[in-house]
Structure 1
Amino acid sequence: MDRRGDEIPVALPTPALAAQAFRDEIVLTGFRLFRPLSDISVFDRINAEVRAAVEFYSDQGYLDKPESFFAVPPPLSEVTVRPVEAGGRRYERLVFDSGYQPHDGEPGRDRWLGYAANRREYALLLRHRQPRPWLVCVHGAVMGRGLLDLTLFRAWHLHEDLGLNVVLPVLPMHGPRARGLPRGAVFPGEDVLDDVHATAQAVWDVRRLLSWIRGQQPDPPLGLNSISLGGYIASLVASLEDGLRCAILGVPVSDLTELLGRHAGISRTDPRRETIALAQPLGRMLSPLSLTPRIPLQGRFIYAGIADQLVHPREQVVRLWEHWGRPEIVWYRGGHTGFFQSRPVQRFVDAALVQAGLVAS
Structure 2
Amino acid sequence: MASPAQRVSRVANQAYRQSKLAITGSPWWQHLPEDFPEWQDEFELNGVAKLMVAGTKQIDNVIRTSLATMAGLLAIPTTLRPKQVAIDREQRAFYEEFARNGDADAFYQRPKRGVSMRRQKSNYLQYRPNIGHIDLLSFDSAFEAVNPALREHYSSYERNATAWAEHWQHDDKPRPTIIVIHGFTADPYWLNSRFLAMPWFYEQGYDVLMVTLPFHGKRQGKFSPFSGHGYFSHGFCHMNETVAHAIHDIRVFMDYLEDQGVPQMGVTGISLGGYTSALLACVEDRLAFCIPNVPVVSIIDIMLEWFPTGPIVRTGLKLAGMSITDARAAVAVQSALSYPTKLPRDRLMLIAGAGDRLAPPKHTHLLWEHWQRCRLHWFPGNHLMHLDQGRYLKAMRNFLQHIGFAVGASANASVETTSTAHK
With the length of structure 2 as denominator, give the TM-score of the two structures: 0.77
* In structure 1, C-alpha distance between the alignment counterparts of 2:127 and 2:94, rounded to whole Å: 52
Q: Which moved more, 1:184-193 or 1:46-55?
A: 184-193
* In structure 2, C-alpha distance between the alignment counterparts of 1:40 and 1:91, rounded to whole Å: 38
Choose the corresponding residue for 2:66, options 16, 23, 30: 30
Q: CA deviation at 1:237?
A: 0.9
1:334 equivalent in structure 2: 381
Which amino acid in the other structure matches residue 395 of structure 2? F
* In structure 1, C-alpha distance between the alignment counterparts of 2:80 and 2:268, rounded to whole Å: 37
Note if 1:155 corresponds to 2:191: no
* In structure 2, C-alpha distance between the alignment counterparts of 1:36 and 1:190, rounded to whole Å: 13
Q: Secondary structure of 2:372's match? A: coil
Q: Secondary structure of 1:295's match? A: coil
Identity of aligned residues (%): 22
Which amino acid in the other structure matches residue 53 of structure 1? Q
After superposition, the C-alpha distances for 1:71-98 in whole angstroms (9 at most, x for unaligned) are 2211254111112353572521111112
Which amino acid in the other structure matches residue 66 of structure 2? G
Choose the corresponding residue for 1:53, options 74, 91, 96: 91
Q: Secondary structure of 1:266's match? A: helix
Q: Indicate conservation of the 8 Å contact 1:4/1:329, yes or no.
A: no
1:17 equivalent in structure 2: 53
Q: CA deviation at 1:240?
A: 0.6
Q: CA deviation at 1:245?
A: 1.2
* In structure 2, C-alpha distance between the alignment counterparts of 1:87 and 1:245, rounded to whole Å: 28
2:170 equivalent in structure 1: 128
The structure with the larger Rg is 2
Q: CA deviation at 1:221?
A: 1.3
After superposition, the C-alpha distances for 1:162-205 in whole angstroms (9 at most, x for unaligned) are 10010000001111111325558432457322321211111111
Note if 1:82 corresponds to 2:120: yes
After superposition, the C-alpha distances for 1:309-332 in whole angstroms (9 at most, x for unaligned) are 111212x11110011111110111
* In structure 2, C-alpha distance between the alignment counterparts of 1:347 and 1:88, rounded to whole Å: 21
Which amino acid in the other structure matches residue 201 of structure 2? L
2:188 equivalent in structure 1: 145
1:287 equivalent in structure 2: 335
1:231 equivalent in structure 2: 274
Q: Indicate conservation of the 8 Å contact 1:9/1:331, yes or no.
A: no
* In structure 1, C-alpha distance between the alignment counterparts of 2:302 and 2:266, rounded to whole Å: 26
Q: Secondary structure of 1:213's match? A: helix
CA RMSD, aligned part only?
A: 2.6
Q: CA deviation at 1:120?
A: 0.5
2:38 equivalent in structure 1: none
1:71 equivalent in structure 2: 109
Choose the corresponding residue for 2:82, options 31, 36, 44: 44
Aligned 1:162-241 pairs, distance under 5 A: 162-182=204-224, 185-189=229-233, 191-217=235-261, 220-241=263-284
* In structure 2, C-alpha distance between the alignment counterparts of 1:47 and 1:111, rounded to whole Å: 15
Which amino acid in the other structure matches residue 180 of structure 2? C
Distance 1:227 1:87, change over 3 A: closer
Q: Indicate conservation of the 8 Å contact 1:94/1:123, yes or no.
A: yes
Structure 1 residue ranges without an equivalent (≥5): none
Q: Indicate conservation of the 8 Å contact 2:146/2:241, yes or no.
A: no
Which amino acid in the other structure matches residue 91 of structure 2? A
Q: CA deviation at 1:14?
A: 4.7
Distance 1:51 1:164, change over 3 A: same
Q: Secondary structure of 1:307's match? A: coil
Q: Secondary structure of 2:166's match? A: strand
